[in-house]
C-alpha cells in the first residue's frame, strides 16, 4: 500500500527522535511492502524562525492532505517571551484544532524489563501497569476565553474552562468504546466538587454510560486521582478526563512506567487522519546531545500504524521489537538502572531496527 505521511520534526530533541522513527518507518515499509510518501513541514519554533508564525497555512494543508501526521515536539527558551498566540505551543494547539483531533490516547504501560526504572516500590507495580489515559484535546481551558484586565486591585489575567454537552458526549464515547475493548473499567476524572464544567462533565458521562452497561464506570476527583496513581496505579484501566487534567496526569503516569521518554500518544478525530507524537516536550536541556529516548516516538509510530493506517501487524512488530530491546538490557539514560547497557538516541534506534 502507498501512504502519505506528514512529518513535523519541530524543535529541541524533535528532529533527533523523529529521525530514528523515520528510519523505523522505512524499514517497516521494506519489510511489509508499503511505500510512504513523506512530506516534511514546519511547526513550532522552527516555523516561527522561517515563516514568522508557529503554524503556517501550508503546514495545515500538508497535514490535511495526508493519511497521518508524525510529530516530534515543539517549544524552547528562544521563543518563551513571545506573546501567547505566537508561541510554538500555539502551533501545536492550532494543528490539533485544525484537524479536529479531540481525543488523545496516552497509554501508560510498565514493561517487565523496566520495573527497576520506576520510582515506585516493586510491590506496587508487581502485577504490571496498563493504563489508557484518554484526554479531551480540543476544548476546556486550553481553548477557552483568556486575557488580561485592569481591575481596581491592579492587573489581572484569566483563562476559562468551558465544556459543551456535545464535546463531553463525543469524548465519553471514546472512553467507553476503549474500555469495551480492554478491561471494561472506566474512571472519569474531574473536579466536580468545585467546577461547574466538571459537574456537567460528570452528568453527561453518566448519561452516555447508559449505552454501555458492561462498563464499570466510576468517578474520581483529580487531586485524589493524582494521589491514587502513585498509591495504587493497578486500580486503573481507562482514565477519561479533560484537556488540562489529562495533560498533567499523563506526565505523572509516564513516570510510573520509568520515564516520560517512554509514552506515545495518538490524537484522533472523526476521520482516519490522526496525529502521533510522544507526550514529552522538546527537552531543550538534552537537545542535540544524542541523549533523548526515541522510544516514545517510535511507539507513537506504532500507534499510527494501528489507528490511522489500519495495519495492526506492523504496529505489533514495532512494539514487540521495543520490548525485546528492553529485555536485552539496552537503555537510554532516562531509563537506565544498575547493570543495564546505556546507549544514545541513535544507537537505541539502530538496535530497535536490528531487532525488527
Decide whether 297 or 340 has the Cβ nearer to ligand IPM. 297
**Distance of closest approach, residue 310 Cβ to ligand IPM, in angstroms:** 25
**Binding positions for ligand NAD, 59-98, rule CB under 6 A:** 73-76, 89, 92
Which residue from 11, 167, 237, 247 is in contact with Mn ion, where contact means CB under 5 A?
A: 247
Binding site residues, ligand IPM, CB under 6 A: 75, 89, 92-93, 247, 279, 281
With cell 524562525, the residue in question is: 49
Question: Closest distance between ligand IPM and the C-beta of residue 90, in Å?
Answer: 8
186: exposed, middle or buried (C-beta count within 10 Å: 0-12, 13-18, 19+)?
A: buried
What is the Cα gyration radius of the chain?
20
> Cell numbers of 20, please?
530514528
The DSSP line for 16-82 is HHHHHHHHHHHHHHHHHT-EEEEEE---THHHHHHHSSSS-HHHHHHHHTSSEEEEEE---GGGTTS
Residues annotated in a binding site: 76-89, 96, 106, 135, 223, 247, 251, 281-293
**Is 264 a binder of ligand NAD (CB under 6 A)?**
no
Q: With 0-12 CB in 10 A as exposed, 13-18 as middle and 19+ as buried, what is 151?
A: exposed
Q: 272-301 mask for ligand NAD (x: CB under 6 A)?
A: -----x--xxxxxxx-----xx--x-----
Residues annotated as catalytic (active site), given as ranges: 142, 191, 223, 247, 251
What is the nearest approach in angstroms of Mn ion to the Cβ of residue 74? 11
Q: How far apart are CA 249 and CA 259, in angstroms?
A: 14
Q: How far is the CB of 137 from ligand NAD (least distance, A)?
A: 11
Shortest CA distance to 265 belongs to which of 71, 10, 88?
71
Per CB under 6 A, does 343 bind ligand NAD? no
89 near Mn ion, judged by CB under 5 A: no
Return residues touching ligand NAD (CB under 6 A).
Answer: 13, 73-76, 89, 92, 260-261, 277, 280-286, 292-293, 296, 334
Amino acid at each position: 500500500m502507498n501512504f502519505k505521511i506528514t512529518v513535523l520534526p519541530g524543535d529541541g530533541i524533535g528532529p533527533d527522535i523523529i529521525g530514528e522513527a523515520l528510519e523505523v518507518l522505512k524499514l517497516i515499509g521494506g519489510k511489509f511492502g508499503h511505500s510512504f510518501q513523506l512530506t516534511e513541514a514546519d511547526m513550532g519554533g522552527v516555523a516561527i524562525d522561517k515563516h514568522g508564525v508557529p503554524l503556517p497555512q501550508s503546514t495545515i494543508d500538508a497535514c490535511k492532505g495526508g493519511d497521518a501526521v508524525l510529530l516530534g515536539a515543539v517549544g524552547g527558551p528562544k521563543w518563551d517571551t513571545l506573546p501567547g498566540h505566537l508561541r510554538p505551543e500555539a502551533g501545536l494547539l492550532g494543528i490539533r484544532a485544525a484537524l479536529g483531533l479531540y481525543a488523545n490516547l496516552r497509554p501508560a504501560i510498565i514493561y517487565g524489563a523496566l520495573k527497576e526504572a520506576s520510582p515506585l516500590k516493586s510491590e506496587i507495580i508487581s502485577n504490571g501497569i496498563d493504563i489508557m489515559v484518554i484526554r479531551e484535546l480540543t476544548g476546556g481551558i486550553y481553548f477557552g476565553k483568556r486575557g488580561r484586565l485592569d481591575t481596581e486591585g491592579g492587573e489581572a489575567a484569566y483563562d476559562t474552562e468551558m465544556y459543551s454537552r456535545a464535546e463531553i458526549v463525543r469524548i465519553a464515547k471514546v472512553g467507553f468504546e476503549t474500555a469495551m475493548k480492554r478491561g471494561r473499567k472506566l474512571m472519569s476524572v474531574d473536579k466536580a466538587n468545585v467546577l461547574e464544567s466538571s459537574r456537567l462533565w460528570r452528568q453527561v458521562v453518566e448519561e452516555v454510560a447508559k449505552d454501555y452497561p458492561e462498563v464499570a464506570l466510576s468517578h474520581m476527583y483529580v487531586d485524589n486521582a493524582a494521589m491514587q496513581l502513585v498509591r495504587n496505579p493497578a486500580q486503573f484501566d481507562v482514565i477519561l478526563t479533560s484537556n488540562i487534567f489529562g495533560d498533567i496526569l499523563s506526565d505523572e503516569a509516564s513516570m510510573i512506567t520509568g520515564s516520560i521518554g517512554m509514552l506515545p500518544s495518538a490524537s484522533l478525530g472523526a476521520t482516519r487522519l490522526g496525529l502521533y507524537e510522544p507526550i514529552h516536550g522538546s527537552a531543550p536541556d538534552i537537545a542535540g546531545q544524542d541523549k533523548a529516548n526515541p522510544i516514545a516516538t517510535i511507539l507513537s509510530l506504532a500507534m499510527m500504524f494501528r489507528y490511522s493506517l489500519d495495519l495492526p501487524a506492523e504496529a505489533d512488530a514495532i512494539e514487540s521489537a521495543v520490548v525485546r530491546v528492553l529485555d536485552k538490557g539496552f537503555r537510554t539514560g532516562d531509563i537506565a538502572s544498575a547493570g543495564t547497557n546505556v546507549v544514545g538516541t541513535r544507537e537505541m534506534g539502530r538496535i530497535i531496527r536490528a531487532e525488527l
